[in-house]
A and B are shown apart, each in its own frame.
Chain A
Amino acid sequence: MKIHLQPLGLLHPLWQFGFYLIPVAMLCTVSFWLLQDFQPKPALDLQNYQQLLTNHVYQQGLFSSLKLALAASVLSVVLALPLAFAITFAITDRFRRFFIFALLWPFFSNYVTRMFSMQLLLGEQGVLNQVLLKLGVIAVPLKLLYSEFAILLGLLSILVPVSAMIICMSLTKLDRTLLDAASNLGASKLQTFSRISFPFALPGALGAFMYSFIVSIGDFVCPRILGGNQVYTLSILIEDRMKVNDWPMAAVLGVMIMVASLVVMSAVLYGFTLTPTAMFAQRQARQNES
């Protein structure tokens, strides 16, 4: 087929170019600027990047953010996988729409207000502690709030629903007749799951991991509201720098976040090519060519 990139087809890429790529390029140039007397001044200086390497506060921020994002991403995939399987296989078609609605509706309620409600739930006088105390499971209220645990809980509440949907979408490519064929040929439930169903979920799991990482590394609401600034993430750092008009340093941190996202994305895309379904598709393509 011929390529016809007539003007109309360029509309969408031009929009992204004009309103996204150019701003991001600007951000990268600002990362080389200097801050003088609380105002950013154009320059071409590597000073900010040097600070990033030498000042341990920034390294701490990078480390905390990466740790949090990786933990949240892994947990989100682990928790979302059974959900996706439940929705695809354990629910009849009639009720599927209802369960998807119930899964996604909390996600689309207002994010910030929901986090503040969670603050009240996890507090020492909160519902969770009151219930556990009444049941006699604990003697002293648990310190759940203002910790990494609380941040993870908050993050998972926005990551798990969408991760489950992403995995569901890749599971829909699974042809149900394959499962019947497998059981006819004598495969046990475990074998069917591990050799047929799970490989189809893998691309979705990788996609969910990527989505979760991108969302959690950039999130500044949870570390502040549920973490009480006790975990010093890159997002809090960026906000702090912007409060004092330190755009150059904030830009550098933004570039760091972008680089981290790109690295994870490349790893995930490489992982895609290694999944059984992708390898199968490649083999098919090679067979078709020959």
Chain B
Amino acid sequence: MRSRVAVTVSVLACCFFLLAAAEAAPQKELNLLCWVSYEERSMLEPFEKKYNVHVKYKTFVSDDQMYALLGSSKHQYDVVTLGPEYVEKLHKIGRLAPLNAADYDFKDYIKPFQKFPLCWFDGKLYAVIDGYGANALLYNTNHLTAKDVETYDILWSPKVKGKVGIWDWYLPTMGTLSSALGNNPRPTDLSQQKFQVLDQKLMKLRPQVAAIFGSPSELTTAVANDQVWIVPGCGEWISAIVREQGKPVDWAVPKQGGQMWIEALSIPNDAPHPDVAKLYVQWMQTPEAQKLKSERKAYNCNVPNKKAYDLMSKAHKDALKVHNEEEAIKLIDKLAVRRLPSQQPETTWQDAWQKFKAAP
């Protein structure tokens, strides 16, 4: 008898506890489809507190995944982070809502990003840029010198055999290798012949590879633990984190140039909470949010809002190699804007990547 009472009481107590936990949730919701790092507490907490919103998120580690997830979803996501190179593709299948440019503040943005061509279609704004970085070369300063990394050829030298780290996404890595072959300023716009050359060069890189990493943080750990000495397609976004931990790592843009990756925010046309989505995008443009974005734990980046640089520490700006608008523009001039392959279907590049991964 007593045991039955005890069981009933504990069950009721559990129910109350669960109900209370559920009711403590705030009123508004935001569903985020984003790169890893947007979900970090430092990024979400200020926004959640300011607007009393609960942010739910689904993360991915490559824009291919983003495209697959967004394409197969319905009324699921409010804000999606993407590279502007995907804006045209998504706009074609009608997935993105046009934004009211007057709602968003670009006056503190550096010149190249105030009206970035890839974000506009038919005179309408579809994506708001909130970060950028380099796909160039990251290297360990204990084993390699600045002279070694003046050219990408170091990647194929016996000096780094078994010490090359690769990030598991075809676009930045193959794009950077294409830059290495001198195809800038359009490294992904290749004739069939040039693509064959790139494919062969890629396969020649395989024996040099230590490992292929599925996420930025696995790459970061390997770089920090000396498993990997050089990473093509990488740049300040990993180097800054590892340097701040006191490891001997730096990054450089070799003479052949590199690619520039850009992060932007878009609102899908079937967003369940478009008003909260607008608040989020507006907030991400503010100097405070931009500074937080630059210093995320998963990977760092440069940011378009120049006022954010006034809030950053000198050490961080040194690691990013950008202290003001002038230096930002100098960096951008060395890099080609990353775009999707134009002369071959994406699947050709993806199949070449799969072949690269599968090779013994």
Direct contact of A and B (CB under 8 A): yes
Which residues does A use to contact B, with CB under 8 Å?
38-39, 57, 60-61, 119-120, 123-126, 143, 145-146, 224-225, 227-230, 232, 236-237, 240, 242-245
**A123: B residues at CB distance < 8 A:** 225-227
Indicate if the CB atoms of B354 and A240 lie closer than 8 Å: yes
**B211: A residues at CB distance < 8 A:** 145-146, 227-230
A227-B64 Cα distance, complex, nearest whole Å: 23
A57-B226 Cα distance, complex, nearest whole Å: 30
**B209: A residues at CB distance < 8 A:** 230
Given contacts A228-B213, A240-B354, contact A245 B62 (CB under 8 A): no
Chain A-chain B contacts (Cβ-Cβ < 8 Å), number: 64
Given contacts A57-B358, A228-B213, contact A39 B64 (CB under 8 A): no
A237-B358 Cα distance, complex, nearest whole Å: 9
Indicate if the CB atoms of A143 and B226 lie closer than 8 Å: no
Which residues does B use to contact A, with CB under 8 Å?
62, 64-65, 67-68, 71-72, 162, 168, 209-214, 218, 221-222, 225-227, 350, 354-355, 357-358, 360
Give 8 closest A-B pairs by Cβ, nearest first: A228-B211, A245-B68, A229-B212, A146-B211, A232-B358, A57-B358, A60-B358, A243-B65
Least Cβ–Cβ distance between B173 and chain A, in angstroms: 13
A200-B214 Cα distance, complex, nearest whole Å: 45
**A146: B residues at CB distance < 8 A:** 210-211, 227
Indicate if the CB atoms of A225 and B218 lie closer than 8 Å: yes
Indicate if the CB atoms of A120 and B225 lie closer than 8 Å: yes
A243-B171 Cα distance, complex, nearest whole Å: 14
Indicate if the CB atoms of A243 and B227 lie closer than 8 Å: no
Indicate if the CB atoms of B225 and A38 lie closer than 8 Å: no
Indicate if the CB atoms of A145 and B227 lie closer than 8 Å: yes
**A245: B residues at CB distance < 8 A:** 67-68, 71-72
A230-B243 Cα distance, complex, nearest whole Å: 27
**B357: A residues at CB distance < 8 A:** 229, 232, 236, 240
A117-B225 Cα distance, complex, nearest whole Å: 13
Question: 5 A–B contact pairs at CB < 8 A?
Answer: A38-B71, A124-B225, A126-B225, A145-B211, A227-B211
A143-B350 Cα distance, complex, nearest whole Å: 30
Indicate if the CB atoms of B62 and A243 lie closer than 8 Å: yes
A39-B355 Cα distance, complex, nearest whole Å: 22
Which residue of A has the minimal Cβ distance to B61?
A243
Which residue of A has the minimal Cβ distance to B165?
A228
A119-B218 Cα distance, complex, nearest whole Å: 10
A242-B71 Cα distance, complex, nearest whole Å: 13
Indicate if the CB atoms of B214 and A224 lie closer than 8 Å: yes
Least Cβ–Cβ distance between B163 and chain A, in angstroms: 10
A237-B222 Cα distance, complex, nearest whole Å: 23
**A224: B residues at CB distance < 8 A:** 214
Given contacts A57-B355, A120-B225, contact A244 B350 (CB under 8 A): yes
**B68: A residues at CB distance < 8 A:** 38, 242-245
**A228: B residues at CB distance < 8 A:** 210-213, 222
Contacts A39-B72, A119-B221, A244-B68 supplied; 18 other A-B pairs, CB < 8 Å: A61-B358, A124-B227, A125-B226, A145-B211, A145-B227, A146-B210, A224-B214, A228-B211, A228-B213, A228-B222, A229-B214, A232-B357, A236-B357, A240-B357, A242-B68, A243-B64, A245-B67, A245-B68
Least Cβ–Cβ distance between A242 and chain B, in angstroms: 8
Which residue of A has the minimal Cβ distance to B68?
A245
A245-B354 Cα distance, complex, nearest whole Å: 15
Which residue of A has the minimal Cβ distance to B93?
A37
**A227: B residues at CB distance < 8 A:** 211
A61-B357 Cα distance, complex, nearest whole Å: 10
A225-B213 Cα distance, complex, nearest whole Å: 8
Least Cβ–Cβ distance between A5 and chain B, in angstroms: 33
Least Cβ–Cβ distance between B346 and chain A, in angstroms: 9
**A143: B residues at CB distance < 8 A:** 162
Least Cβ–Cβ distance between B143 and chain A, in angstroms: 12
Least Cβ–Cβ distance between A66 and chain B, in angstroms: 15
Which residue of B has the minimal Cβ distance to A57?
B358
**B62: A residues at CB distance < 8 A:** 243
User: Which of A126, A227, A230 is packed against the most chain B CB atoms within 10 Å?
Assistant: A230
A223-B221 Cα distance, complex, nearest whole Å: 17
**B221: A residues at CB distance < 8 A:** 119
Least Cβ–Cβ distance between A95 and chain B, in angstroms: 33
A60-B350 Cα distance, complex, nearest whole Å: 17
A174-B350 Cα distance, complex, nearest whole Å: 56
Which residue of B has the minimal Cβ distance to A228?
B211
A240-B253 Cα distance, complex, nearest whole Å: 30
**A38: B residues at CB distance < 8 A:** 67-68, 71
**B213: A residues at CB distance < 8 A:** 228-229
Indicate if the CB atoms of A57 and B71 lie closer than 8 Å: no
Least Cβ–Cβ distance between B212 and chain A, in angstroms: 4
Indicate if the CB atoms of A124 and B226 lie closer than 8 Å: yes
Least Cβ–Cβ distance between A136 and chain B, in angstroms: 21
Least Cβ–Cβ distance between A35 and chain B, in angstroms: 9
**B355: A residues at CB distance < 8 A:** 57
Indicate if the CB atoms of A39 and B226 lie closer than 8 Å: no
